[in-house]
Chain A
């Protein structure tokens, strides 16, 4: 039995084999308690404080920002903006940086395997500015070649946006190499870290990302808190995204000057309890340790892949190597629509994702309507995988096929 599992109320009774952590992780009691403690002992509107309680709230919120900065190896806390989630973080970059710096005829480079949240903001921006949205395409295993990246990154490229880990295929990308290529043509590198941050040590400085987005809820923090990292000189040059309270310096009837970064980008009352929960989740995550996380996930992924490939009528997508999946296994069962597969597994209390995974362009490229996705985290066990396998072996029979 995994020693950390007891910390997770949803998992503790083993009612569910929860294999959908790529959609959202479960939360340990330490995170739940941190959020409760904030509301019990430090709740006031942060950043407006002329009294002790509000200063406590402000400190809790700013300490969380510093914790995040250390976690992703940012140069300073000012480079960390709290948002709602990865989607909002990427929209912030597209609306603020994109609208200020992308012009007609410019190019935005993205990959066809991106999540819709790293496609639609750029699509919208490209339409508005008459810019061109250029796509990278992978081989049948989901891998991109550096040559294609080099060929498609040119002097017109303003933005290169890519996920560090695909939410469908799991394959980790050499972002550091990509950033070098982007910078050599004067483009900024935007990284969607939603699927990587929960599973591997991230250093925004080492990979030299200009912007890096991730969600708290995929690494055990509450829903509704996310992060945008941005290099300070870029953030300072950008106009605000949302406007209103807390993001101003001085306002008259007809004009305003804006607060310094990061507060310029955090309009309105912030999600301080969420930020505190995120800091607690990061503490928890680092206590578990990325070594343990990677080792556990690799062991379980290898087991799941090996056993799944022995089952007849199964197609597994992505790399043959368990190391290239980051806990994500996407597959189909011959003749069975993924929604029927997920329903049969649901009857056995096995939770997987089925559908297009917010990656319809990738599904079109792979020529499938939909797929099933089982995703693992360090709190999963071999027993979870066994329950999944037992259920999956019966799917075709349950749906009326011979075997």
Chain B
């Protein structure tokens, strides 16, 4: 997939019509992540009950890749256990670094469309912002 296709087929949809971008009442955990160099800014809200992420949202602003990546991440982790979410974050991180297997890619569903970011060093931090913030938050709340 070339870059424009990536935007057209995946990124734009999640950026312009996100499912999970809204203010969230009473999250059990939340965390803000920022990329100071480009102004990407995103806050993740989660509701975690007995080790399961039962609901979540994000709010923020920034480039299309940072925001779309947040929406795709929410698609993936809602309904999963905290450990499963950490596992996905770890795979996503390796995908962006170009160190991932075919089977692992499948687990990422839509988010695997961002694999080409691994060839675009300047955009890596955009794609990783939501996942990095999630990992830090889950580790802090352990």
Answer yes or no: do A and B interact.
Answer: yes
Point out residues on A near B: beta carbons under 8 Å: 336-340, 342-344, 346-347, 355-356, 369-370, 398-401
A-B CB contact pairs (8 Å), 18 listed: A337-B64, A339-B63, A339-B65, A340-B7, A340-B63, A340-B64, A343-B3, A343-B123, A344-B3, A346-B3, A355-B38, A369-B38, A370-B38, A398-B7, A398-B8, A400-B7, A400-B16, A400-B64
How far, in Å, is B114 (CB) from chain A's closest CB? 12
Q: How far is the CB of B124 from chain A (nearest CB, A)?
A: 11
Closest 10 CB pairs of A and B: A400-B12, A369-B39, A337-B63, A347-B3, A339-B63, A340-B64, A400-B16, A340-B63, A347-B4, A398-B4
| Number of residue pairs A-B, CB distance < 8 angstroms | 54
B42 to nearest A CB, angstroms? 13
CA distance A356 to B39 in the complex (A): 9
Q: How far is the CA of A344 from the CA of B2 in the complex (A)?
A: 10
Q: Is the CB of A370 within 8 A of B39?
A: yes
Which bucket holds chain B's interface residue count? 20 to 34
With A339-B126, A398-B7, A399-B15 given, name 4 new contacts (CB 8 A). A339-B63, A343-B3, A347-B2, A347-B3
Q: How far is the CB of A298 from chain B (nearest CB, A)?
A: 31
Report chain A residues within 8 Å CB of B2: 347
Q: How far, in Å, is A306 (CB) from chain B's closest CB? A: 27
Contact of B123 among A339, A347, A369 (CB under 8 A): A339
Is there contact, CB below 8 Å, between A400 and B13? yes
Residue of B nearest to A394 (CB): B4
- Chain B interface (Cβ within 8 Å of chain A)? 2-4, 7-8, 12-13, 15-16, 37-39, 62-65, 120, 122-123, 126
Which residues of A have CB within 8 Å of B16?
400-401
Q: Which residues on A sit within 8 Å (CB–CB) of B12? A: 399-400
- Collect the chain B residues with CB atoms within 8 Å of residue A342's CB: 122
In the complex, which of the residues A336, A339, A401 contacts B122, with contact meaning CB atoms closer than 8 Å? A339
Closest beta carbon of chain A to B120's beta carbon, Å: 7
* Contact across chains for A399 and B64 when beta carbons are under 8 A apart: yes
Residues of A within 8 A of B62 (CB): 337
* A350 CB to nearest chain B CB (Å): 13
Shortest C-beta distance, B50 to chain A (Å), equals 38
- B126 — which chain A residues lie within 8 A by C-beta? 339
A355 touches B4 (CB 8 A): no
Query: Which residue of B8, B13, B37, B65 is within 8 Å of A340 (Cβ)?
Result: B65
The residue in chain A whose Cβ has the minimal distance to the Cβ of B13 is: A400
Chain B residue nearest in CB terms to A401 = B16
Residues of B near A401 (CB, < 8 A) are 16
Q: In the assembled complex, how far is the CB of residue B5 from the closest CB belonging to chain A, in whole angstroms?
A: 9
User: In this complex, which of A337, A339, A342 has the most chain B Cβ atoms within 10 angstroms of its Cβ?
Assistant: A339
- B contact residues around A339 at 8 Å (CB): 38, 63, 65, 122-123, 126
Alpha-carbon gap, A398 to B3, bound state (A): 10
Say yes or no: A344 contacts B122, CB within 8 Å.
no
**Known interface pairs A399-B64, A400-B12. Does A355 touch B37 (Cβ–Cβ under 8 Å)?**
yes
A336 to B2, CA, bound (A): 19
Residues of A within 8 Å of B64, CB to CB, are: 336-337, 340, 399-400
Whether A344 pairs with B4 at a CB distance below 8 angstroms is yes
B119 to chain A, nearest CB (A): 11
Instruction: Across the interface, name the chain B residue whose C-beta is closest to A339.
Output: B63
Inter-chain contacts of A347 with B (CB < 8 A): 2-4
State the CA gap A340–B40 with chains docked (Å): 12
CB distance from A372 to the nearest CB of B (A): 12
A347 to B4, CA, bound (A): 7
Complex contacts, B39 vs chain A, CB 8 Å: 356, 369-370
Residues of B within 8 A of A344 (CB): 3-4, 7
How many angstroms between the C-alpha atoms of A347 and B63 in the bound complex? 17
Q: Which residues of A contact B13 (CB under 8 A)?
A: 400
Contact of A356 among B3, B4, B37, B120 (CB under 8 A): B37
CA distance in complex: A346, B117 (Å): 13
CA distance A355 to B3 in the complex (A): 19
Asked, given contacts A337-B62, A339-B126, whether A400 binds B3 with beta carbons under 8 Å apart, the answer is: no
Cα–Cα distance between A356 and B38 once the two chains are bound (Å): 7
Q: How far is the CB of A128 from chain B (nearest CB, A)?
A: 24
A369 to B66, CA, bound (A): 15
Q: How far is the CB of B96 from chain A (nearest CB, A)?
A: 15
User: Least Cβ distance of A109 to chain B in Å?
Assistant: 27
Query: Closest chain A residue to B3 by CB distance?
Result: A347
